[in-house]
A and B are shown apart, each in its own frame.
Chain A
Amino acid sequence: MAAIPNEDIVKAIGDKFADAVTVIGEPYGLLTVESGREQIIDLLTFLKTDPSFKFTFLTDITGIHYPEQEKQIGVIYHLHSLTTNTRIRIKVFLADGDVHIPTATVLWEGANWMERETYDFFGVIFDGHPDLRRILNVDDMTAFPMRKEFPLEDPNRVDKKDFYFGR
């Protein structure tokens, strides 16, 4: 089957979710939509089960941090419809201090570790996740290291300072 035109997906999502899901754009042809966290599972279920779309394959879940935004933490889903070879990207933004989002493990078993990784690095709490604990970092770590305020190196170290050209 040929790829589904992005307009068809936009129209179907608009019919079903009205203003709750907004289109951000389609960079390099990949349709990107933003959803609220209340609708995210409904949206994912709709995209997965709708017979004309069948976005049955969860490619990836990851996070992003924009410290200057009001809703700082983003969760980004990449879905792939293997039968039509169409991809879609879904973003959900969460305010810092209330980083709760329902888990996608109810739809895909594979979401388990992807969400654990997102929790580990961004501190996003996936409500209903069966085993939400750190995965790549040590268990007793307190920070969420992919957030922008976390420095790459210890800022106090002096042994690598270059006094003529700066770092």
Chain B
Amino acid sequence: MQNHPVYTDNDPQSELSTLNLGPTHPATHGVFQNVLQLDGERIVSGVSTIGYIHRAFEKIAEHRPFYQITPLTDRLNYCSSPINNMGWHMTVEKLLNIQTPKRVDYLRVIVMELARIADHIVCNGVLGVDTGAFTGFLYMMEQREAIYEIYEEVCGSRLTTNIGRIGGFERNFNSRAFDKLRAFLKSFPKTLKEFEGLFNRNRIFVDRTRDVAAVTAETALSYSWTGPLLRAAGVDYDVRAMNPYSSYEDFEFEVPVGDNGDVYSRFLVRNEEMWQSLRIIEQALVKLDKEPGDIFHADVPEFYLPPKEEVYNNMEALIYHFKIVMGEIPTPTTEVYHSVEGTNGELGFYLVNDGGRSPYRLHFRRPSFINYQMYAPMSRGMLLSDAIINMSSLNVIAGELDA
């Protein structure tokens, strides 16, 4: 308790004021508390307090079978749940040495890139709102709705998707999903171009964001930053390119990097990533045409739940259904680390397995948690209004921060 943050400034001679920014404040977009010492509008020091929505996912995961952990990962970064879901599925597949068919990989790539676009839409749109421009946010949110409708066609839900299963998808994509996807690919580039036109060379926006919260590559690496934040600082580390998973090696895309890691570079990097995601989705659609259209999961009956009608009519399906649900299938006793490029950086899953039905230990390497720890130190000497837009552009999601 000796290092506890100072909540009140009791020194009557002090000119500093203490400000509780959060835990619920409209400008912080989530449950974040920062106790700031202010000298006028300038921040002298700050202490971040986190954990307000800690839900003990790692502890719960030790008591759940593998397939029941997917809904927990939904609630990490809830702006891009499919990436978390599939990252978890791929971790288990790596543990069990399951090879997924190419069509599954490409479908996953489509959904993950849609999720990346949806997440960047929120981050960059909200950054616009925080600098006083509401219009761009509304244009972009309309497109996020289109993405959520595609999710709905694929898995039935929108925000916490629980999309896919270990080995593939729970059902094949229907034709409406592809229709909506094609419509989105047609309409989104126009919106994104308009959005960029509103911001990229907008004098007010550039003045507000250029050189704000600039971070050098060395500092970013020392703080273990990953994702768009690290790339904005000039380091081209992208898990998709460096350690390709889900057949990302079959796709051509650029890894955009910024120059000085300020809020403006992060904004540009995220916009460019959306263009690259569109490129990847278009390539994936072309590749899908060459794959047999009825494959949507790997052939692993020991781990992939059979269709319900077969459970009632087919002996093998009934046996596998029982064994999967009761956790009767042996798994290797080993440990595995798998990471995917989440929207905020390297989302890692460290799984220690003892052969039982649930993990012995599961640790999430949550990029928001690791990225956010620089927030208080880097806010020193910054104007309060700059610290607000810095927080927006860090894109810290409370669910992922607190796990």
Contact = CB atoms under 8 A, between A and B. Distances in A.
A135 B221 contact: no
A57 B56 CA distance: 27
Contacts of A152: 59-60, 62-63
B352 A110 contact: no
Given A27-B335, A62-B350, A136 B51 contact: yes
B1 A139 contact: yes
B366 to A, nearest CB: 10
Interface string B54-78: 1010111011000000000000000
B284 interface: no
A131 interface: yes
Interface in A22-76: 27-28, 30, 32, 56-60, 62, 64-65, 76
A82 B50 contact: no
Interface in B366-403: 369-370, 373-374, 402-403
A51 B60 CA distance: 42
A58 B223 CA distance: 8
B373 to A, nearest CB: 4
Contacts, number: 90
A142 to B, nearest CB: 13
B345 to A, nearest CB: 11
Interface string A109-145: 1101110010001000000000111111111000001
B219 to A, nearest CB: 8
A87 B3 CA distance: 35
Interface residues of B, number: 42
Contacts of A32: 335
B135 interface: no
Determine which residue in B3, B335, B348, B369 has the highest number of CB atoms from chain A within 10 A of its CB, and name it: B335
A113 B94 contact: no
A156 to B, nearest CB: 17
Interface string B210-226: 00000000010111110
B334 interface: yes
B243 A60 contact: no
A146 interface: yes
A47 B9 CA distance: 44
A32 B350 CA distance: 13
Size range of the chain A interface in the assembly:
35 or more
A102 B363 CA distance: 22
Contacts of A87: 337
Nearest to A87: B337
B221 A57 contact: yes
Contact of B402 (A65, A136, A138): A136
A110 B222 CA distance: 6
A160 to B, nearest CB: 13
Determine which residue in B4, B58, B235, B363 has the highest number of CB atoms from chain A within 10 A of its CB, and name it: B363
The 5 closest A-B pairs by CB, nearest first: A110-B224, A136-B51, A113-B373, A110-B223, A136-B54
Given A30-B337, A109-B223, A110-B225, 18 more contacts: A28-B337, A59-B348, A64-B361, A78-B337, A82-B237, A87-B337, A108-B223, A110-B373, A113-B369, A114-B224, A114-B370, A117-B369, A132-B3, A138-B51, A145-B59, A146-B58, A152-B62, A152-B63
29 contacts: A27-B335, A32-B335, A57-B224, A57-B237, A58-B224, A59-B224, A60-B350, A62-B363, A64-B361, A82-B221, A82-B235, A85-B243, A108-B224, A109-B219, A109-B374, A110-B225, A110-B373, A112-B373, A113-B370, A113-B373, A121-B58, A131-B3, A135-B51, A139-B4, A145-B56, A145-B59, A146-B58, A146-B59, A152-B59
